[in-house]
Amino acid sequence: MTISRRDALKTALLAAGSTLAAPAIMRQAALGADPIKVVGIHDASGGLDIYGQPMIACLDFAVDEANAAGGLLGRPIELINYDPQSNIQLYTQFATQAATKDKAAVVHGGITSASREAIRPILDRFKTLYFYNTQYEGGVCDRNIFCTGSTPAQNVNKLVPYVQKHWGKNVYIVAADYNYGQITSKWITKYVREGGGQVLSVDFFPLDVTNFGPAISKIQAAKPDAVISALVGGAHISFYRQWAAAGLKKTIPIASTTFGGGNESVLLTPEEGDGIVSAFSYFQEIDTPENKAFLEKFHAKMGPKAPYLGAELAMRTYIGFNLWAEGVKRAKSIDRMAVIKALESGISMDTPAGKTTLDPKTHHTTVDVFVAECANHGFKVLETFPQQPPLDTASVCDLAAHPNEAKQYEVDVKI
């Protein structure tokens, strides 16, 4: 990299003020045919922008890359980016607009599970194909949606054993107070108990909470071997800052199912962030030829606006677009059902994150999973687990047998 990650983030934030202030940003290659419209709905502002901005950058890059290669089916791809500003009402508004006004061939969008569950029924109703490219709690079973991010059976199942092996059996959970945090905390509890430990307590926090002083006092009194965080968003970064300020980093380590999905490692100082351990299906620091080649192209194209990609959300957005594009190529059409059937035919791609395979029965992905430690505004990969299937969702979802399913199951986690 020719610029520091911190400078890159600052530049990206400044650029966001000018390039992402309008409700929609359109890109179209000059290929001389009616464009195929792709809509992105990601938070460029608000408390979830730490995730949204890198996702937008990767979707922009993927579309530009496809258009430079000739588009799809001889047509240019027109990308329309909407900024829901971390507001669920705007998510529903833009999903409706994408389906009815824009006539989008596909929507890539949603960060929190709450936003996904707000727009998924809308896109189902209007029969607009949907890709959700975020690591989440699992269980969505809907033929109209493809979920490319990792789920608890893939990432939490690797994070908890690492914690118990290196730090101790007993943990304290802090989590965001909505479906992601509530369900993920059950998975953490399951794996902690299977490892012979116990969860001393679980505390939930609304997304706008910034004062964690009382919670930190409770954790200190409980004396866990480790804290496992499923906190979400810009406000919750305060927990890590206040934890370090309380002088607890050296005595009680932290692991997280979410830390690194945005730019948390860039925003925190090394004194605040170093040593926090996460598990995802991608980290920018993965040392493979494919990832190095991607990053070289990405930074050459984006220049000083290139954000630090951190963990999987941004990369899964890039991969999600390319999976959809492969489905279009195989279908030789943008017709929704034709593309869905093509995507169910057995698509596997070599990507910067490793091999990604779409599972036809669940519309989820088999992925490589990495455990990594925050170090100096980035991550150091500690362990690699090749080709982990989405077993949690597979236990409740079989779209081949039940193609009309359109719901999220809460997997019965035995705790």
CB atoms within 10 A of CB 87: 17
Kindly compute the dihedral angle of the four CA atoms of residues 104, 108, 114, 117, in this order, to the nearest 10 degrees.
Answer: 50
Query: Residue 30's pLDDT is what?
Result: 45
**What is the per-residue pLDDT for 15?**
42
pLDDT digits (tens, 9 = 90+) for 107-124: 999 999 999 999 999 999
Q: What percent of the chain has pLDDT over 90?
A: 87
Domains parsed from the chain with CATH numbers = 5-150+286-367+388-408 (3.40.50.2300), 156-256 (3.40.50.2300)
* Least confident among 8-12, 55-59, 65-69, 273-277: 8-12
Mean pLDDT, the chain, integer: 91
pLDDT tens column, 362-375: 999 999 999 999 99
Confidence of residue 415 (pLDDT cuts 50, 70, 90): low
pLDDT above 90 for 402: yes
**Global model pTM greater than 0.85:** yes
For the segment 273-289, the average pLDDT, to the nearest whole number, is: 96
Q: How far apart are CA 392 and CA 350, in angstroms?
A: 24
Looking at per-residue pLDDT, the higher value among 261 and 317 belongs to 317
Res. 242 pLDDT band, cuts 50 70 90 = very high
Arithmetic mean of pLDDT, 233-242? 94
pLDDT at 8 over 60: no
Higher pLDDT: 59 or 9? It is 59
State pLDDT tens for residues 175-188.
999 999 999 999 99
8 A C-beta contact, residue 121 and residue 407:
no
